[in-house]
Structure formats: structure tokens, C-alpha cells
Amino acid sequence: MTGAAPLPPSGTAAPAVMRGLRFHRHGGPEVLVWDEVPVPVPGPGQVLVRSRGFAVNWADLMERAGVYPGAPDPPYVMGHDLAGDVVALGSGVETPAVGTRVFGLLPQAGTSAEWLVAAADQVYPVPQALTDAEAAGLGSPFLTADAALVTMGRLQAGETVLVHAAAGGFGSAAVQLCKAYGAATVIATAGSPAKVERVAELGADVAVDYTADDFVDVVRRVTGGRGVDLVVESVGGDVLARSFDCVRPAGRLVSVGASSGRSTSRFRLQTLFETGITVGGFTLGLWIQHNPELVAPSAARVLRVLDAGTVRPMVARVFAPEEIAEAHAFLASRQSIGRTIVLFPQP
């Protein structure tokens, strides 16, 4: 089935079936279909959410192509970031209350649907000032960026940070959070003059067009040859490899993904004791599943700066459900500045 029907008003009983985005074989955007699937029922500790929209992530593109590690076999309802309204509570749940507009992240997918269930303690109230599109793009980039900077990266006020792919969802969140958390100098890389301009507007002190300039040379010049205190990156491949040359002795590097689809052979055991740097990585989805106590502080910090108006999710473009193939192609083109969002029609 193509398209998506308008949803019933919030607070009404959920229907028996809904439209959910799936693929039945791996391939390009053309394999995406809106199938009729059962509406999930909230179990103990869960809430039923009537979706307002979802973000398209690089993980979705990789899952669809069949190259995402650990992804289930198709078909399954796709999607990880969510925004919607709580319409029913499972047993043992008192908050969030029915009617609360929430955002969050489902590690095992399922957000690209008209209705979804989520653990009650893993969805968070949306600050009133945010639009539905901003809320749909909020969860994974901001919670990941906070954890990369604070929990893993041990960011301290006054430090210098290098943020790669700063025009994307994760990178734009990381730049904003760096400034909100007191970083003295943020060096940010992006892949076009337009992206560089937008990254500077977000607060980057030095914005580098990596298609025209060598970011390692820029880092050395800006830091007087010392290197940065912290690198956060989500690209992998050569970007990760060359980032080792940007970290000061005893500095830190945190990797949270590989949007390039490539690994690196640069990392060696000697890298650790020759330079004294700390190298770490994590996946937010695994933390949500196995270490939720590590995610809660990130959510609290992010909500504080959102409520203060210090940071704001960046939206590149909003698509309708029937434009889902175009949304995937748009993200894959690497032309987006911010999140790629799909919104359901509202009553």
C-alpha cells in the first residue's frame, strides 16, 4: 500500500491495523512499501504512542541495503526516532500521562508507523517550543551527542573539540552542545560551502570545508600544533584514521558510527600507548537496551538546554509518507543540512 491515511484524534481508541513502513527484500529506496500491519499493544512498563512523525537515519539506509550489523531479516517495521502523543498506558505505568507529546528512540526499530509502543522510561516530554519536525529529529542525535561529549568524552569547560560531519543530525547537535557545555573552541568539518556557513551559524568557532581544506592542517594551525582535547566522529574510514593525528597527547577520541560504510586499518595498539590518548565508541541503542542508567543523565542534560532555548534540532527537509523513497534518496545524496523528517498528516 502507498500513502498514509490521516490519523484519528489523540485520545481516541487505536484501530486494529495501521500502515507501517517495511521492505520485503534488500535494495534501494524502491523496495520501501507501506504495509497494513497490526497496531501494537502496550505491555507492562510500556506506552502506546500515536505517531506524529519520524526521522530517516543512516541506519535505516544501511538496514534497507542489507549492510547494517545485527539488523533483523525483513520484513519488519523500520524506524528508530519517534515523536507522537501518548494515548494508552501499559500496566505499572503512571507517567508520561496520556496526551503527553513525547520523543524518543527505539533501538529495535518500529517508529515508521502510525502507532508504536515504547518503554515508558525511554520517551521524554517534548519542549513546547519545538515543532513536530524538530521533535521527530531530536532523539538519537542529541542523546548520542551528549553521551559522546560528556559520558564518553569527559568534556570540560574551556576545552577544544573537533566535530566531524557537523552539518548532519549528530554533528549539528554536537556543535550546539559543545557550546552549551562550555567548550572554548569548536572546530567543525562539513562537505560544502553551504554546510560550512550553516555550521558556523550553529556556533562553530572554526568551520572547515573538508572537500577544499585538510582538516588535520587546520587543527594543527588553530591549536598551535598541540591538537584538540576531544574528537567526536561518526564517519569512520579515512576520517577516523586521520583524526588520530588531531588529538593532543592524553586527549580523547569517541566514535559513534561509520556513515561512510568503511572501517580503518590505521588504529593499532601502539596508537594508545605512543600518544596516550583514550579511544572509545558506543551505540546508543545498545545502551538503551542494556545500560539505560547511562542514557538517563544525557536525557536530563539535553532537556535542560532545550528548555533554556540554548540548542535546537536542525531540520533539513520534511517529507510526506508517500514521499518516503524520495526521503531516503535525499539523505543518501549527502546534501541535507540537518535531519530528514517524515510527518504524518494530522487531523
CATH 3.30.2350.10 describes domain 141-285? no
d(CA 10, CA 232): 39
Mean pLDDT, the chain, as a whole number? 90
Residue range 224-238, pLDDT digits in tens: 999 999 999 988 778
Contact 231, 165 (CB under 8 A): no
pLDDT at 16 over 50: yes
Please calculate the CA angle 48-64-61 and round it to the nearest 5 degrees.
90
Would you kindly state where each structural domain of the chain is located, as residue ranges?
A: 17-138+313-343, 141-285
Cell of 45: 512498563
Q: Is the dihedral of CA 186, 191, 193, 199 positive or negative?
A: negative
Pairing, β 123-125 against β 101-105 = antiparallel
Q: SS3 for 219?
A: helix
d(CA 171, CA 194): 15
Model confidence band, residue 6 (pLDDT cutoffs 50, 70, 90): very low
Q: SS3 for 339?
A: strand
Cell of 260: 561512510
Count the Cβ atoms, other than its own, within 10 Å of residue 137.
32
Residue range 270-312, pLDDT digits in tens: 667 778 889 888 888 889 888 889 999 999 999 999 999 999 9
Short-list 270, 246, 277, CA closest to 154: 277
| Residues constituting the chain | 347
Count the Cβ atoms, other than its own, within 10 Å of residue 25.
9
pLDDT at 239 over 70: yes
- Separation in Å, CA 2 to CA 288, 321, 338: 32, 8, 26
User: Which run of H or of E encompasses 189?
Assistant: strand 185-190
Residue range 30-51, pLDDT digits in tens: 999 999 999 999 999 999 999 9
Q: Which residues on neighbouring strands pair with residue 299, listed in sequence order?
A: none
**What is the CATH code for 17-138+313-343?**
3.90.180.10
Residue range 122-142, pLDDT digits in tens: 899 999 999 999 999 999 999
Residue range 164-221, pLDDT digits in tens: 999 988 999 999 999 999 999 999 999 899 999 999 999 999 999 988 899 999 999 9
DSSP secondary structure code for residue 228 in this structure: E
d(CA 326, CA 151): 36
Cα dihedral value 176, 182, 183, 187, nearest 10: 30
Instruction: Compute and round to an integer the Cα radius of gyration of the chain.
Output: 20
Give the end-to-end CA distance of the chain in Å, rounded to a whole number: 21
How high is the pLDDT of residue 1?
Answer: 37
Short-list 321, 59, 33, CA closest to 168: 59
User: Which run of H or of E encompasses 289?
Assistant: helix 284-290
Short-list 83, 64, 61, 84, CA closest to 72: 64
d(CA 314, CA 326): 19
How high is the pLDDT of residue 266?
Answer: 65
d(CA 307, CA 304): 5
